[in-house]
Amino acid sequence: MSQKKIVTEEIIIFDKVKWYKDENQDIIKKWLDFLLKSLLDNNLLSEEGKEIFLEFGIDNEFSLNSNLLTAEGVVFLKKKYKKFVLNLSKKGFCSAAKELTNELILFSIKVPKEKGFLYACVETSWDIAKEEGFSYEQATNKFKVLLQWASDNGHLESEAKKYLLLDRLPKNFCLYSWMFSEEFNKKFPPIYTKWSKKIKFNSSNIDMSLIEECLK
């Protein structure tokens, strides 16, 4: 009679307060407190994680490990945690907190397998803009303006609205037809290139009249 093989998952330890020198423990506890609150708000803490965090908080014995997280939480921290800590050590708490907030927003967006028609990508716009001496914010401005206009006028899908919560669009961001309404996708493609070419990277106001006219 064969015995069943018991598979136990290895506990992953992402961070510990004790790993840091005494003079750095206050900042790491502040960071871990912000991180756990953010994970809690995004439903990425396990029941054990909620109990430990809400009852005991972050003390000198705290260990950030996989038992405190949901399966999705583990996936998220495995991909991103080292990057967050590097940011924390180089640029400080505010920069790391902002990065965490943005990454959690991106992680929450449910992008469909079939993304549909590709309009444009930030990376292409950024490559051109930096060659001409413009900033990343200037390179991505038309994308943000278009998303905001589509949202204000009822043409942006609910998942895509989450991109408006970001303080900046990521370099791998692309505009796809899944983000927009059926009406928008019927009328916008023929005029996209014309509208886009009219926009200068240093434009303070982007003219949306061409889009407004085509969607009447």
Q: What is the pLDDT of residues 126-137, one digit of tens each?
A: 999 999 999 999
Q: CA end-to-end span of the chain, whole Å? A: 74
Cα separations (Å) of 105 from 5, 76, 102, 160?
39, 12, 5, 11
Whether 87 and 140 share a structural domain = no
Residue 41: domain span? 13-108
Radius of gyration of the chain (CA): 22
Whether 104 and 18 share a structural domain = yes
Whether 101 and 21 share a structural domain = yes
**161 pLDDT exceeds 90?**
yes
Asked whether residue 196 is assigned to any structural domain, the reply reads yes
Asked whether residue 6 is assigned to any structural domain, the reply reads no
**164 pLDDT exceeds 50?**
yes
Phi, psi of 97 (to 5 degrees): -65, -40
Whether 97 and 123 share a structural domain = no
Asked whether residue 1 is assigned to any structural domain, the reply reads no
* pLDDT at residue 5, rounded to an integer: 45
Three-class SS state of 168: coil
Instruction: Please answer whether residues 196 and 139 qualify as being in contact, where contact means their C-beta atoms are separated by less than 8 angstroms.
Output: no
Least confident of 1-5, 100-104, 121-125: 1-5
Residue that is last in its domain, among 89, 108, 127? 108
Structural tokens at position 77: 């921290």
Sort 178 into a burial class: Cβ within 10 Å, 0-12 / 13-18 / 19+.
middle
Whether 62 and 143 share a structural domain = no
Cα 109–186–203 angle (5° rounding)?
70
Whether 37 and 60 share a structural domain = yes
Q: What is the mean pLDDT of the chain?
A: 94
Cα separations (Å) of 92 from 15, 97, 121?
17, 9, 30
Asked whether residue 2 is assigned to any structural domain, the reply reads no
**97 pLDDT exceeds 50?**
yes
Whether 155 and 102 share a structural domain = no
Asked whether residue 4 is assigned to any structural domain, the reply reads no
